[in-house]
Structure 1
Amino acid sequence: MSTIIYPSPIFGPVHSRRLGISLGINLMPADGKICTFDCIYCECGFNKDHRTKTPHPTREHVAKALEAKLKELKTQDIHPDVLTFAGNGEPTSHPDFAGVIDDTIRLRNEYCPQAKISVLSNSTFIHRPKIHEALSKVDNNILKLDTINADYINKVDRPTQPSYDVNRIIADIKSFNGQAIIQTMFMKGETEDGTNIDNTGEEFVKPWLDAVKEIAPREVMIYTIDRETPDHSLQKATHEELDAIRDRVVALGIPCTASY
């Protein structure tokens, strides 16, 4: 069983394939994982294997730890390209997410004004007014949309909320009026129980492209597996497959990057 459980609330900086030198902000407890998805490809492992026993870090703790780290990096002449909310679960599930965003903007402006603030979210809470408002303040509001196929979502992303509805998610992403970035995982192979999870074929790509066109995001980021996954039978999409999908997004007039 492979997992990466990140320190909390600050980790890195690390080199991100998509974002550059990234200082991570993990709003989940450091002893496990809390997420509204239970993705079979998650580098943090399956939810059931990492139940937390400690609470979320408080808003005050996050701000204090972030300021200390930014001061340290400044003395080392290290300049992060981005402050990235990621880690052991869904960052917008933090009980004071909006307040943490306000603190992070203030500290970024003071210590590293050139850095962008990014949030990697699975989109499950973007319908909440306070979450929507907070995400509208950040530089890179990166929202997951792996497919629009409900059966695939239930087999691969595995939402923990019975009310999850991809059509509502699409409408909620549209409500950012072009200021969201869509992030999509493409991969191949089968699950350990033999279920085919290849979403690189036309059956999945064409409807996804139609949704992307409807949403009209600022940018699209497509990627494939980078680290070992808890389901060990999954496979990377090829460079050629990702490049072909990227080119189709670009043909819609939407910037798109592919990470291999």
Structure 2
Amino acid sequence: MATVIYPSPIFGPVHSRRLGVSLGINLLPADGKFCTFDCIYCECGYNKDHRPHAKLPSRKEVCEALEKKLKEMQENGPEPNVLTFAGNGEPTSHPEFAGIIDDTLMLRDRYFPEAKVSVLSNATFIHKPEVFAALNKIDNNILKLDTVDSDYIRLVDCPTGHYDVNRIIEGMKAFHGNLIVQSMFLKGKTETGVDVDNTTDRYVLPWLDVVKEIAPRQVMVYTIDRETPDHALQKATHEELDRIVALLEKAGIKASASY
């Protein structure tokens, strides 16, 4: 079973395919995973297989650990390009997320003012005013939208509660361009034999129409990079991702692909 369970609250720095030298901030426990999605491609595995027992790190613990690491990096390197909220689940689910963002921006300005602050989110909490406001403060508000097909979302992203893709889309539009859309493209079949190829026009063109409506400042398309809990999945090809990037750029939307 694929499992990459990250330390908490700070991990790395690591080299990100999309963001450069990235210092990770994990607001979930270090001993397991829980998320509002249970994606069949998640490098952290399935929720049910890695139930955490530890508590969430507190705002104070995150702030102290982050400052300690930034001091160390200031003295010994490397210089981070980005401070990235990611890890063992959905970062915006932390009840003190908004305050932690304020602390992070303050520490970034103190130690590495050129570094960007990024959040990788599945967008399930953007309807909360405090989360929405916090995401509007950061440099890279990166929100997931793998498809606009509800059946595909249930099959691949596997939301753990009620999920209305149209509500998510309207929430993304409310950022008025202050967001980056991140979309996973993959191929193959599930272990139960269901086709999950979302690189075809059947999925790409409706998704593209919605992305145009959202009007993000950038779109990041990517594919599988590590072992997945559903072992039958396959990477999208360079050519398929390049085609999607070309469609976005033709529509006037800045786009990049990570292979």
TM range (shorter): over 0.9
Name the amino acid aligned to 2:224: I
CA distance in 1, matches of 2:102, 2:77: 25
Residue correspondence of structure 1 range 207-222 to structure 2 within 5 A? 207-222=206-221
CA distance in 2, matches of 1:155, 1:34: 18
CA distance in 2, matches of 1:182, 1:168: 15
CA distance in 2, matches of 1:245, 1:81: 27
Paired residue secondary structure (2:221): strand
CA distance in 2, matches of 1:78, 1:224: 27
Name the amino acid aligned to 2:252: G
Name the amino acid aligned to 1:220: V
- In the other structure, the counterpart of 1:225 is 224
- In the other structure, the counterpart of 2:10 is 10
- In the other structure, the counterpart of 1:67 is 67
CA distance in 1, matches of 2:246, 2:82: 26
Name the amino acid aligned to 1:238: T
- In the other structure, the counterpart of 2:144 is 144
Name the amino acid aligned to 2:171: D
CA distance in 1, matches of 2:101, 2:251: 32
Residue correspondence of structure 1 range 115-134 to structure 2 within 5 A? 115-134=115-134
Q: State the 1:255 CA deviation.
A: 0.3
Q: State the 1:78 CA deviation.
A: 1.6
- In the other structure, the counterpart of 1:170 is 169
Paired residue secondary structure (2:137): coil
CA distance in 2, matches of 1:106, 1:154: 38
**1:122-152 CA distance string (max 9 Å, x none):** 0000010000000000000000000000000
Gap regions ≥5 residues in structure 2: none
CA distance in 2, matches of 1:2, 1:78: 29
- In the other structure, the counterpart of 1:189 is 188
CA distance in 1, matches of 2:156, 2:76: 41
Paired residue secondary structure (1:136): helix
Structure 1 length as normaliser, TM-score?
A: 0.99
**1:195-234 CA distance string (max 9 Å, x none):** 1100000000000000000100010000000000011110
- In the other structure, the counterpart of 1:37 is 37
Paired residue secondary structure (1:206): helix
Q: Does 1:155 align with 2:155?
A: yes
Q: State the 1:54 CA deviation.
A: 1.2
Structure 2 length as normaliser, TM-score?
A: 0.99
Name the amino acid aligned to 1:209: L
CA distance in 2, matches of 1:97, 1:200: 34
Equivalent residues, number: 259
Runs of 4+ in 1 over 6 A off after TM superposition: none
- In the other structure, the counterpart of 1:25 is 25
- In the other structure, the counterpart of 2:199 is 200
Q: State the 1:77 CA deviation.
A: 3.1
Name the amino acid aligned to 1:199: N
Gap regions ≥5 residues in structure 1: none
Q: Does 1:100 align with 2:109?
A: no
**1:126-179 CA distance string (max 9 Å, x none):** 0100000000000000000000000000000000112x1001100000000001
Q: State the 1:90 CA deviation.
A: 0.1
CA distance in 2, matches of 1:95, 1:30: 17
CA distance in 1, matches of 2:156, 2:78: 38
Percent identity over paired residues: 67
CA distance in 2, matches of 1:77, 1:113: 15
Q: State the 1:52 CA deviation.
A: 1.0
CA distance in 2, matches of 1:77, 1:239: 33
Q: State the 1:35 CA deviation.
A: 0.3
Paired residue secondary structure (1:172): helix
Q: Please give the root-mean-square deviation of Cα atoms over the aligned residues, in Å.
A: 0.5
Name the amino acid aligned to 1:96: E
Name the amino acid aligned to 1:226: D
